[in-house]
Structure 1
Amino acid sequence: MTTADAVVIGAGHNGLVAAAMLADAGWDVVVLEAQDGPGGAVKSAELFPGYVSDLYSAFYPLSVVSPALLALHLEDHGLVWSHSPAVVGHARSAEDDDAPVIFRDIDRTAAELDRHHPGDGDRWRTLFDQWLLIREALLSTLFSPFPPVRGPAALLRKLGTSEALRLAHLMLLPAGVMAEQLFDGDAARLLLLGNAMHADVPIDAPGSGVMGYMLIMMAQDGGFPVPVGGAGQLAAALVNRARAAGARIEYRQRVDHIEVRGGRAVAVHTAGGDTVQVRRAVIADTSAPRLYRDLLPSEAVPAGVLRSMDHFVWDTPVLKINYALDEPIPWRSKSLNEAGTVHLGADHNGLIRWMADLNTATLPERPFMLFGQMTTADSSRSPAGTESAWAYTHLPRGVADDASADRLAARVDDVLEEHAPGFTDRVVGKSVQRPSDLEASDANLHTGAVNGGTSQLFQQLIFRPAPGFGRAETPVQNVYLGSAAAIPGGGVHGICGRNAARAALAGDGLLGWPRRRLNQAVLSLVTR
């Protein structure tokens, strides 16, 4: 039996951020990870000799703007970023030989969009100028626990009341409506729509435009960088940083349950029989259902929360295919040759049909996909003149069996061959990650859901992970949810871990007593 100030359950990127912050504050921190290595959904491996494949996440626009990760100075702990020559492109159809692309140079992007539709280049510049003005305030608003205070106040100061209201209205628009209001041509509109599909919100649903807006602006601002050597290098830097602060990380330690006495966590027990006594806090980098249903004793969780977990909505399952190619990809549209991220398989109407398939348990005939050219973004990923790549799409909820996954994987190959004739002839290695594979390697990726739960409005803000939350605090005084299941949700930004660590520090000891009492009073009102 050992003792620690804090136990962090899970060595995903959020857990490692929390561990580093608590260790920086002088706490004795132990991280318990069920798998045999760190990173959660931030990992890479050599699936094919000489080719490095990112197993889950791959491009990191949120990481390079996240205050949680920036504060850790990971570049001092081994992290090096790399960029593709172009950021992201969107092929409108299989016949599209002139796909629009975002470049990190705004002059090139504006000229590209003007070429597709005169005037959209200026519209893009205007939008980007506003982004530069409001970036910090907007990110503070989106990244803060609910209710955010400083971010909205800063937005009001910078924009004034009327412009701030217009921005709030813009952020609530469906992606399709937002695209039509911001741009006149299909090229710019589809760049926004394709990026909106990085979340699981239908493009005709309110609030679905936020992700599209954020990602196209981040693409223009900081690009979509990748860690040199693979996604695992980001996880390695986080481990180095947490250990440098004094945190201990133990692998192959699956937590079985959290012991609670008097409304507080007092110990964490592993499946192997080990126990860590807790002096101050437990931070769970786990899914919300696992924390509330499995780890905490049922008598410590209000009945209303347990009922909410029965109705917790996961995001749609992911199918991911890793490829090794012996030559560059022969795109029909040569503009995609330099893009790290490529969106394929659907125009505006096609995206609506694809999402309708997912929401009606229909296996898509023509899947929309994200496609990553990793060697294009980082030359260390495979030998010169070759490409390490992946495709990523979704299955409907409830049909994520292996047979469905294999049928969809074949359709992904068909779409790629249409957009890049000769693609399949250049494939020398292929590996399919089905939803069951994703969950087996990371329990947080339940049924292949990679976002910690749907991003739709009914499960965001004060409804994440259940009505009445919106913060890292839980009904147990010193237990905090620090995963993508907590606000602000999925993405490799570390904010969920930061919010949990901050809440633990603020709620500790005698000085934290009023805060704990207030949080418990609020939660008791909304979680009965």
Structure 2
Amino acid sequence: MSPAETVDAVVIGAGHNGLVAANLLADAGWDVLVCEATDHIGGAVRSAEVTAPGFVTDLFSAFYPLAGASPVLRALELDRHGLTWTHAPAVLAHVFPDDRCAVLSRDLATTAAGLETFGTGDGAAWTRLTEQFTQILDPLLAALFNPLPAIGPVTRLLRTLGTADALRLARMAAQPVRRMGEETFTGSGGGMLLAGNALHADLGPDGAGSALYGWLLCMLGQTVGFPVPVGGAGRLGEALDSRLRKSGGTVRRQSPVEQLELDASGAVSGVRLAGGERIRARRAVLADVPAPILYRNLLDESVLPARMRADLDRFEWDPPTLKIDWALSHKLNWTAEGARGAGTVHLGVDLDGLTDYAADLATGRVPQRPFLLFGQMTTADASRSPAGTESAWAYTHLPRRVPVTDELVADHVARVESTLEHHAPGFGESVLARHVQSPAALQEANPALVGGAVNGGTAQLHQQLVFRPVPGLGGSATPIDRLYLAGSSAHPGGGVHGACGANAARAALRRNGTLGGVGRRITDTALSRIYRG
């Protein structure tokens, strides 16, 4: 490719959002080039054999309830490009310190019966939550994933619920998840499922808005499960890449963008790669990178409004992640039977322990009793390791204000494995190989995971909706004409759903007139299916 190459759009980053955006632009007839800094596509959706031969590890993200429900990924029809989903026998289990176990199953009666053992009436309460969620699923997801203001989807949601129930839903969404659990259940099982799922982001049990995230993930788990791609997380990126190539788009690996170039009017006109090569963009540049990297590394900050520069100083990352991968010689011998068939297992703490854990992270203390998210990948997908074995991982968080030394990492790995040994005796003896991903190692493998932050910035209420990534933007828009933020720092945020990329592609097409009038050029494309109605 010559240094004078010109395309309609350059997409920076081949994470799943970048690939989604590139696919939608290619569908609309645009000439699209994706520039990926590393030698790998998929961003934080990747897999490899890093523990032992024959053991496939999902290097970053692993279970995908948001992908299973996403209207964006459904519209791309990735099953036609080699992607197949599968499920563990049970979605998720939360093992209490005393070995009681709350289990989330895709079978509603099974989940309800298990929760009833924690408190009389709790099974019926869970059933009511599920029935309401099923009723509003489509307009709710559209309201969450569409660009702001999502007037059409919100109107449909209000019409479905009615004013009174819509207000009750809004109240619940603003609640701390602890309070939602107390109001909904008499026992501890249902509230523990909600609170543990809220901490898939960085939302502690007592934080405003944590109820919405915990409820959403639990309800998705109940209705669509926590699916995984057969063969490894990387199969999702491969399917997006295959679809893009068939649509005429191109991905260039090991092509890090060093600088955005602007024309005399201040609009973005292209990119300059680290080696000096320049690529012109006739219509748009879409950046699937965290907002601080876009505005501070790829742009001269002087082109930004002074107030935005000040807002960027207040941008908050989510806490650093420590992830450990194992090749295990046999399945875990959980003393809590409900954990044996679950793809995802939460353990280490009860509800008060979750509060202590969140407080430790907020105040800069290293948690002495960490909350663990544990993945049994072969339980979910038999192709991940030899028969009878388990490809497994766990992750937990560390406080951002504490230097992460080798000694701290080693101590925390020992703490994690001690917790697993307590609840699954013989765990240590089953370890054939171990692969530790410290926060620094995560960033080295994927430069977008700054300091081990995996969600593109905190999911707390003060950095969501119109406050994401900074107040007033609330989506893919940037102060630079024809430049769009397509990564998880934009609304609706982290998770594998593709909405950030789709919204950026939609904005670029609108800016260039492709979506004007009746949108003749895209009436039969994935984009039209995503935003129909």
Query: Any conservation in 1 of the 2:377–2:392 contact (CA below 8 Å)?
Result: yes
Query: Any conservation in 2 of the 1:259–1:297 contact (CA below 8 Å)?
Result: no
**Residue of structure 2 equivalent to 1:334:** 337
TM-score, normalised to structure 1, is 0.95
2:450 to 438, 446, 449: 446
Query: CA RMSD of the aligned region, Å?
Result: 1.3
Note if 1:146 corresponds to 2:155. Answer: no
The SS at the match of 1:63 is: helix
> What amino acid is aligned across from residue 139 of structure 1 in structure 2?
L
Note if 1:390 corresponds to 2:386. Answer: no
Note if 1:196 corresponds to 2:198. Answer: yes
> What amino acid is aligned across from residue 448 of structure 1 in structure 2?
G
> What amino acid is aligned across from residue 321 of structure 2 in structure 1?
V
The SS at the match of 2:334 is: coil
Query: Any conservation in 2 of the 1:417–1:423 contact (CA below 8 Å)?
Result: yes
Query: Any conservation in 2 of the 1:344–1:368 contact (CA below 8 Å)?
Result: yes
Cα distance in structure 1, aligned partners of 2:240 and 2:423: 38
TM-score, normalised to structure 2, is 0.94
Note if 1:169 corresponds to 2:178. Answer: no
What per-residue deviation string (whole Å, max 9, x for no partner) do you get for residues 405-445 of structure 1? 22211111111111111111111111100000111111110
2:440 to 427, 436, 449: 436
Cα distance in structure 1, aligned partners of 2:46 and 2:378: 16
> What amino acid is aligned across from residue 455 of structure 2 in structure 1?
N
Cα distance in structure 1, aligned partners of 2:413 and 2:495: 24
Give unpaired runs (5+ residues) of structure 1.
Answer: 513-528
> What amino acid is aligned across from residue 14 of structure 2 in structure 1?
A
**Residue of structure 1 equivalent to 2:242:** 240
Cα distance in structure 1, aligned partners of 2:237 and 2:291: 22
Q: Which runs of structure 2 are paired with 1:370-385 in the superposition (5 Å)?
A: 370-385=373-388
User: How far off its partner does 1:26 sit?
Assistant: 0.1
User: How far off its partner does 1:510 sit?
Assistant: 9.5
Q: Which runs of structure 2 are paired with 1:329-368 in the superposition (5 Å)?
A: 329-368=332-371
What per-residue deviation string (whole Å, max 9, x for no partner) do you get for residues 326-346 of structure 1? 011011101110000000011
Cα distance in structure 1, aligned partners of 2:183 and 2:248: 51
Note if 1:31 corresponds to 2:34. Answer: yes
User: How far off its partner does 1:189 sit?
Assistant: 1.2
> What amino acid is aligned across from residue 62 of structure 2 in structure 1?
A
Note if 1:4 corresponds to 2:7. Answer: yes
> What amino acid is aligned across from residue 303 of structure 2 in structure 1?
A
Cα distance in structure 1, aligned partners of 2:407 and 2:316: 23
> What amino acid is aligned across from residue 8 of structure 1 in structure 2?
V
Cα distance in structure 1, aligned partners of 2:309 and 2:405: 27
Query: Any conservation in 2 of the 1:260–1:296 contact (CA below 8 Å)?
Result: no
The SS at the match of 2:67 is: coil
The 1:214–1:312 alpha-carbon spacing in structure 2 relative to 1, beyond 3 Å, is same
> What amino acid is aligned across from residue 30 of structure 2 in structure 1?
W
2:134 to 125, 132, 135: 132
**Residue of structure 2 equivalent to 1:320:** 323
Cα distance in structure 1, aligned partners of 2:80 and 2:187: 43
Cα distance in structure 1, aligned partners of 2:464 and 2:301: 24
**Residue of structure 2 equivalent to 1:424:** 428
What per-residue deviation string (whole Å, max 9, x for no partner) do you get for residues 141-172 of structure 1? 11122222122111111111111001111111
Q: Which moved more, 1:336-345 or 1:177-186?
A: 177-186
Query: Any conservation in 1 of the 2:509–2:515 contact (CA below 8 Å)?
Result: no
Note if 1:411 corresponds to 2:415. Answer: yes
Following TM superposition, where does structure 1 have runs of at least 4 consecutive aligned residues deviating by more than 6 angstroms?
A: none
Cα distance in structure 1, aligned partners of 2:329 and 2:493: 37
Q: Which moved more, 1:306-315 or 1:45-54?
A: 306-315
Cα distance in structure 2, aligned partners of 1:310 and 1:194: 30
